[in-house]
């Protein structure tokens, strides 16, 4: 590396870094502002350092060679090419500071990307078009900024040149924004600056067109705002990303410190195991350290051989993290398919991934009024407060105490796509008070007494396909063989256990969740449980399957064409649905998702109910369910 590049890198390393995002509604001028910052500040892009090595004459002068219009056009072209589906990060520096800016799209459908940018930012530049004022997307982004704990907000009232630099317009927008933001966070620091990103007014130099503004410029604030953490008051936390064992003589635990300070000799605790030891070394590529702090990427070794895996958290022994599997959370939903309580997802926090269920949606937050509204579901870009139940206990801290260990994403189990992002609020008290009671008489002993293997025979299909008829015949045959059974029928259950539920998608999800939990208890009792429910959604059927042990869930697809079901129509439901008297009826007003890999596939158009029951019975015999 030549001397000029090496000197440049040394200078940059000595500067503090501000991570900020630009957000706001569509066409408020985010790309224009970023282009102006890159142009006026005579900046160097970190991703072009390799090119600078080959042409050291450009060091420190690249900004002078940039045509501002071309730069802004280039940013706009990226949007047209769809690059902003993900957050675009820009890296630049001035004489005083380094910057990492997340260029977040303003479109409502890309709110998820804005949340991504907010998750790692220290400051938000909230763009507002002076002609349009505060919009719904402005409020939505402001709420997310507050939700992610960003205390520094710079409100850039842009396009002042298009309103003749009218002070009254700026003051009205400033007052309206401050009034709205007062309901978000009491400790937020809001600075409002009138600008024209296109013409450069109040970006790096004070505007002569707005002598009435005696505040600092946008760049003045970015260069001087204090976002560096003060005296470290949090205890040591290290989420383990990798167990490093290149040979038998070395075993280290690598990761980025999420809080506190660590030194050799410090006592630590590994969670969730609870085992303790002392720090032996703090290892880095540049040699051992005497201490390491938040955001340092390190490998630590311990004095003792204790069991630690990826996803565990190493923390200060005198102040360990909480362990829980039941939490209250704030959740931003980021998928076109709505969230309904009862469905299962993967929850990923830090380096730990566990299965989870949103057990209760307590309320939805109105972005415009910040009021809480009762809700049974969350739609795309909506924020709600919910309870989640995890398959295993995790180590966590509330988001307000630790951004790394206090946040999570939800992942769809089928597509592995991210569908939500959330923040931990607190552990539910019942998580610590409720423990699993081990009983002497268990499922194995109950099923041995009955000389059978317990299972759930889950019959799914359209209304009129013959599920209940086949279930009734099947249970009669099993009863004749002295097998211990019980049938849960969709209509019968709605007379009691689920009588409070309707037929909306949210109610259907809850309907299957309750039946799934009931089925699990019956299997635990050693019974062969027959379930006859339309259960139209694959996600819900998979949720019930996951409640059971391997081999205990037998999905039976009662496959009957819609037109045949309509011809049968034993309850007159299809006729009513076609007449508009019944809404959300499966096959007419609501979709049915066919099983992809059912254990038993019954084509009932071509067979009698008795033959269908015989096919299920043959499967049970083949799998040894009926073995005595």
Contact 203, 40 (CB under 8 A): yes
Question: Could you tell me the sign of the dihedral formed by the alpha carbons of 408, 414, 417, 421, in that order?
Answer: negative
- The helix (H) or strand (E) run that includes residue 306 is none
Q: Strand, coil or helix: what is 56?
A: helix
Beta bridge partners of 84: none
C-alpha 489/C-alpha 498 separation (Å) is 11
Phi, psi (degrees; rounded to nearest 5) at 617 = -60, -40
Residue of 440, 430, 450, 585 lying closest to 529 (CA atoms): 450
User: How far is residue 497's CA from residue 519's CA, in Å, rounded to a whole number?
Assistant: 13
Q: Is the bond preceding 465 in cis, omega lying within 30 degrees of 0?
A: no
In the structure encoding, which two tokens stand for residue 380, read together?
């795309």
User: Using CA atoms, how far apart are residues 188 and 454, in angstroms rounded to an integer?
Assistant: 58
Residue 82 phi/psi, 5-degree rounding, is 85, 10
Rg (CA), the chain: 30
Catalytic residue from among 535, 590, 608, 627: 535
Question: Among candidates 153, 299, 313, 149, which has minimal Cα distance to 229?
Answer: 149
Distance of CA 11 to the CA centre of its chain: 38
Q: Is 213:174 a contact under the CB 8 Å cutoff? A: no
Distances (CA, A) of 531 to 143, 166, 487, 604: 44, 69, 6, 17
CB 4 within 8 A of CB 10: no
Non-local CB neighbours of 185 within 8 Å, separated by 6+ positions: 146, 151
Q: 180-198 b/e with 16+ CB inside 10 Å = b?
A: bbeebbeebebbbbbbbbb
What angle, 0 to 180 degrees and rounded to 10, lies between the N-to-C axes of helices 68-80 and 30-40? 140
3-state secondary structure 249-263: CEEEEEEECCECEEC
- Give residues with Cβ within 8 angstroms of 550, minimum separation 6: none
**Residues sharing a CB contact under 8 Å with residue 496, sequence separation 6 or more, in sequence order:** none
Active site residue 119: no
Q: Is the Cβ–Cβ distance between 423 and 365 less than 8 Å? A: no
**How many Å apart are CA 628 and CA 449, to the nearest integer?**
10
Residue recorded with tokens 């259960």 = 535
Q: Cβ(130)–Cβ(161) under 8 Å?
A: no
Catalytic residue numbers read 535
């Amino acid at each position: 590396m030549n001397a000029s590049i090496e000197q440049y890198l040394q200078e940059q390393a000595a500067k503090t870094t501000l991570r900020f995002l630009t957000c706001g509604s569509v066409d408020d001028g985010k790309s224009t502002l970023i282009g102006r910052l890159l142009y006026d500040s005579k900046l160097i892009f970190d991703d072009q350092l390799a090119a600078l090595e080959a042409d050291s004459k450009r060091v420190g002068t690249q900004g002078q060679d940039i045509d501002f219009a071309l730069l802004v056009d280039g940013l706009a072209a990226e949007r047209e090419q769809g690059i902003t589906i993900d957050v675009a990060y820009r890296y630049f520096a001035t004489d005083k500071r380094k910057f990492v800016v997340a260029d977040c799209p303003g479109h409502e459908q890309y709110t998820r990307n804005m949340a991504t940018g907010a998750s790692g930012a220290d400051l938000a530049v909230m763009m507002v078009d002076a002609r349009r004022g505060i919009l719904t997307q402005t409020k939505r982004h402001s709420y997310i900024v507050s939700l992610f704990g960003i205390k520094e907000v710079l409100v850039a009232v842009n396009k002042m040149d298009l309103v003749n630099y009218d002070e009254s317009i700026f003051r009205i927008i400033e007052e309206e924004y401050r009034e709205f933001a007062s309901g978000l966070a009491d400790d937020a620091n809001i600075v409002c600056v009138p600008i024209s990103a296109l013409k450069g007014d109040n970006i790096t130099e004070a505007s002569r067109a707005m002598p009435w503004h005696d505040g600092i410029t946008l760049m003045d604030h970015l260069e001087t705002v204090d976002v560096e953490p003060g005296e470290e008051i949090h205890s040591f936390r290290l989420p383990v990303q990798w167990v490093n064992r290149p040979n038998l003589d070395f075993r280290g635990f690598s990761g980025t410190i999420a809080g506190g300070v660590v030194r050799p000799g410090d006592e630590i605790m590994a969670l969730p195991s609870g085992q303790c030891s002392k720090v032996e070394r703090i290892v880095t590529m540049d040699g051992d350290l005497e201490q390491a702090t938040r955001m340092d990427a390190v490998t630590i070794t311990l004095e003792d051989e204790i069991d630690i895996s990826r996803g565990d958290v190493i923390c200060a022994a005198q102040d360990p993290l909480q362990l829980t599997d039941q939490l209250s959370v704030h959740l931003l939903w980021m998928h076109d398919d709505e969230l309904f309580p009862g469905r299962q997802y993967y929850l990923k926090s830090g380096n730990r991934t566990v299965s989870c269920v949103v057990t209760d949606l307590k309320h939805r937050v109105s972005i415009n009024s910040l009021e809480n509204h009762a809700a049974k579901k969350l739609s795309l870009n909506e924020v709600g407060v919910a309870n989640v139940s995890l398959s295993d206990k995790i180590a966590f801290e509330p988001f307000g105490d630790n951004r790394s260990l206090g946040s999570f994403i939800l992942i769809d189990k089928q597509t592995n796509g991210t569908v939500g992002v959330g923040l931990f609020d607190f552990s539910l008290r019942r998580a610590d008070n409720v423990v699993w009671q081990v009983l002497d008489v268990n499922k194995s002993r109950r099923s041995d007494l009955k000389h059978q293997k317990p299972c759930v025979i889950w019959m799914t299909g359209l209304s009129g396909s013959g599920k209940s008829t086949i279930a009734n015949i099947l249970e009669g045959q099993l009863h004749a063989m002295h097998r211990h059974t019980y049938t849960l029928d969709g209509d019968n259950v709605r007379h009691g256990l689920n009588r409070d539920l309707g037929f909306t998608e949210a109610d259907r999800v809850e309907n299957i969740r309750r039946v799934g939990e009931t089925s699990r208890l019956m299997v635990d009792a050693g019974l062969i449980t027959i379930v006859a429910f339309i259960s139209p959604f694959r996600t819900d059927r998979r949720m019930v399957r996951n409640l059971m042990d391997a081999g205990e869930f037998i999905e039976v697809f009662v496959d009957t064409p819609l037109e045949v079901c309509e011809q049968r129509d034993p309850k007159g439901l299809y006729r009513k649905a076609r007449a508009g008297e019944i809404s959300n009826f499966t096959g007419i007003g609501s979709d049915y998702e066919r099983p992809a890999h059912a254990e038993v596939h019954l084509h009932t158009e071509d067979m009698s109910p008795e033959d269908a029951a015989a096919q299920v019975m043959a499967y049970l015999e083949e799998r040894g369910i009926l073995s005595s």
